[in-house]
Chains A and B, each alone.
Chain A
Amino acid sequence: AQSVTQLDSHVSVSEGTPVLLRCNYSSSYSPSLFWYVQHPNKGLQLLLKYTSAATLVKGINGFEAEFKKSETSFHLTKPSAHMSDAAEYFCVVSDRYGGATNKLIFGTGTLLAVQP
């Protein structure tokens, strides 16, 4: 079965400094991986996705993630944090391959705090 592990439940950075949110995955086949963001009292918004094309994936709001098969990692980064980046971030793996509907397995989330 597919799974993801988010290595940090909380990350705090200062505005203008880099962001690194770590995620490791487990998959028996070439996975589809996603990062979603959830701002307070909001639904989940897709930041970026990896589906076996380029290993460096660029997303919205300056975020990017690199798929590293040898390390089974899909860490999320951003060069310079903004106050509006404060939110909860979820690493997600798809547990369905080639099916009609999607079965996404969510990590436990990383709460990002951005200090002024």
Chain B
Amino acid sequence: ETGVTQTPRHLVMGMTNKKSLKCEQHLGHNAMYWYKQSAKKPLELMFVYNFKEQTENNSVPSRFSPECPNSSHLFLHLHTLQPEDSALYLCASSHTGTANTGELFFGEGSRLTVL
């Protein structure tokens, strides 16, 4: 596989469930990102990881718990979510340092519906 792969593509969960979103990048990048895309709102940056270390948490509620075991994998653990958390969650990656060309490379997203 190439690029940035996200699974599952669609997820429906109740407010008391625990689930996880997975992202894997095959681009040799060292930075990974989670974005939230809600209807009629700009994309919101949630978390940034650089070489497995979290470098940014954009005031995200604790019911979202990221995990980055290595530079190629990123998870978003979900628990006790609210209906307003329903959105498209996008994973992205990029180079860092001198190889960084400024852009992000996105996966196709995981569409989350919270009932």
Q: Which of A24-78 contact B (CB under 8 A)?
A: 32, 34, 36, 41-46, 49, 51
- The interface residues of chain B lying within 8 Å CB-to-CB of A49 are 101-103
B44 to chain A, nearest CB (A): 9
The number of residues on chain B lying at the interface, defined by a beta carbon within 8 Å of a beta carbon of chain A, is 29
- Give the docked Cα–Cα distance between A46 and B101 (Å): 12
Q: Are B108 and A102 in contact (CB under 8 A)?
A: no
A42 to chain B, nearest CB (A): 5
Q: Are A103 and B45 in contact (CB under 8 A)?
A: yes
- Among A36, A43, A90, which residue has the most Cβ atoms of chain B within 10 A? A43
Indicate if A108 sits at the interface (CB-CB under 8 A): yes
Partner among A36, A101, A106, A109 whose Cβ is within 8 Å of the Cβ of B48: A101
Q: Are A101 and B55 in contact (CB under 8 A)?
A: yes
Q: Are A44 and B102 in contact (CB under 8 A)?
A: no
Indicate if B109 sits at the interface (CB-CB under 8 A): yes
- The interface residues of chain B lying within 8 Å CB-to-CB of A109 are 42
Indicate if A100 sits at the interface (CB-CB under 8 A): yes
- Among A42, A44, A107, which residue has the most Cβ atoms of chain B within 10 A? A44
Q: Are A100 and B109 in contact (CB under 8 A)?
A: no
Indicate if B106 sits at the interface (CB-CB under 8 A): yes
Q: Which of A68-115 contact B (CB under 8 A)?
A: 90, 94, 100-109
Provided the pairs A100-B31, A102-B94 are in contact, do residues A42 and B102 lie with their beta carbons within 8 angstroms?
A: no
A40 to chain B, nearest CB (A): 11
- The interface residues of chain A lying within 8 Å CB-to-CB of B33 are 101
Q: Are A106 and B42 in contact (CB under 8 A)?
A: yes
B71 to chain A, nearest CB (A): 12
- Other A-B contacts than A44-B106, A100-B100, A108-B41, 8 sampled, CB-CB below 8 A, are A43-B6, A44-B92, A44-B104, A49-B102, A101-B48, A101-B50, A103-B48, A103-B56
Chain A: residues with CB nearer than 8 A to chain B?
Answer: 32, 34, 36, 41-46, 49, 51, 90, 94, 100-109
